[in-house]
A = this chain, B = another copy of it.
Amino acid sequence: MSVIYDKVAFIGLGLIASSMFWAGQRAGVVGHATGFARTQQTRTTARDIGLCDDIRDTLIETVLDADLIVLAVPVGAMKAVAQQIAPHLKSGCTVTDVGSVKREVIDAVAPYLPETVHFVPGHPLAGTEHSGPEAGFATLFDNRWCLLVPNGAASDAVERLGRYWRALGANVDMMDADHHDRVLAVTSHCPHLIAYTMVGVADDLRRVTDSEVIKYSAAGFRDFTRIAASDPTMWRDVFLSNKDATLEILGRFTEELFALQRAIRTGDGDHLHDYFSRTRAIRRGIIDAGQDTEAPDFGRRKD
């Protein structure tokens, strides 16, 4: 493939940015990549594993002359980064991000960017339970969705960023920021909060020991712990910055959970059976949509 951006600058070198770098190398669509991380330790690790062509020690050096700047820091850190880099951005460059919420990122970043810069927020729907520069791998985005929020940016800048993400392996869709935040509250943010909660409950119990919880963790709980092992800082910022949509969905969740609890308490088996039958259809839809495998044992590798 031919180069899409001559120079890409990654701000923040966690799972997503490092995977973007490796996927860009695989595709050959980036001329030169610079990277910056807040801590010396992360920068040293990044250099050690050959992440980016150059790891710089300051934000400003990192973004100079960049055609694409990727903000890959927690949502709560976006504003400070935007303020610092804004005066040093090349005219005509594109700024994007990979945050899990979009409205708050726009509010934090857009006011500081000059008119000459294209700001196109983005969100790749991909991740693992691991974080940090060593967690990245080139295939993370393959056949996953990347949602872009055009937000009034020039259409050629949006199109170019879409081409870049497709080269990294992703499918690209456009979405309005508020709608994005609502969809993600349902499909990702609330499930994560709930998984965190259930794992926390298990950790607290005195009549069931920790070692039993771990030793006998069956499919349900094991899946929850995997979800609940994601990066704490990132998720704190997600919930604080997508507060309204998250609380709305949690309200609905609590309502439904209480109805099921009541059915258990009163022995209403029909209510339970009907509810459990309905949820199977959604699962079928997800497999048909190619978003997951049907492999036995939940598709986990045996090795």
Contact = CB atoms under 8 A, between A and B. Distances in A.
A296 B256 contact: no
A202 B253 CA distance: 9
A99 to B, nearest CB: 13
A187 B213 CA distance: 6
Contacts of A128: 219, 296-298
Interface stretch (A79-87, A88-96, A281-289): A281-289
Given A183-B216, A194-B194, 7 more contacts: A125-B216, A142-B302, A205-B252, A228-B276, A228-B280, A229-B280, A232-B277
A224 interface: yes
Interface of A: 76, 125-130, 135, 137, 139-140, 142, 145, 147, 173, 179, 182-184, 186-205, 207-208, 210-230, 232-233, 235-237, 239-240, 243, 246-247, 249-250, 252-254, 256-257, 260-261, 264-265, 267, 269, 272-273, 275-286, 289, 291-303
A269 B236 contact: yes
Contacts of A275: 196, 200
Given A197-B257, A282-B213, A207 B235 contact: no
A219 B264 contact: no
Contacts of A225: 279, 282-283, 286, 292
Nearest to A251: B261
Contacts of A201: 186, 190, 249, 252-253, 256
A233 to B, nearest CB: 7
A213 B183 contact: yes
Contact of A210 (B228, B232, B282): B282
Given A127-B218, A212-B183, A240-B269, A226 B223 contact: yes
Given A183-B208, A221-B186, A303 B293 contact: yes
A214 B285 contact: yes
B232 A289 contact: no
B125 A191 contact: no
13 contacts: A130-B296, A182-B208, A186-B213, A214-B285, A215-B291, A217-B291, A226-B298, A228-B280, A236-B272, A243-B267, A293-B300, A300-B300, A301-B301
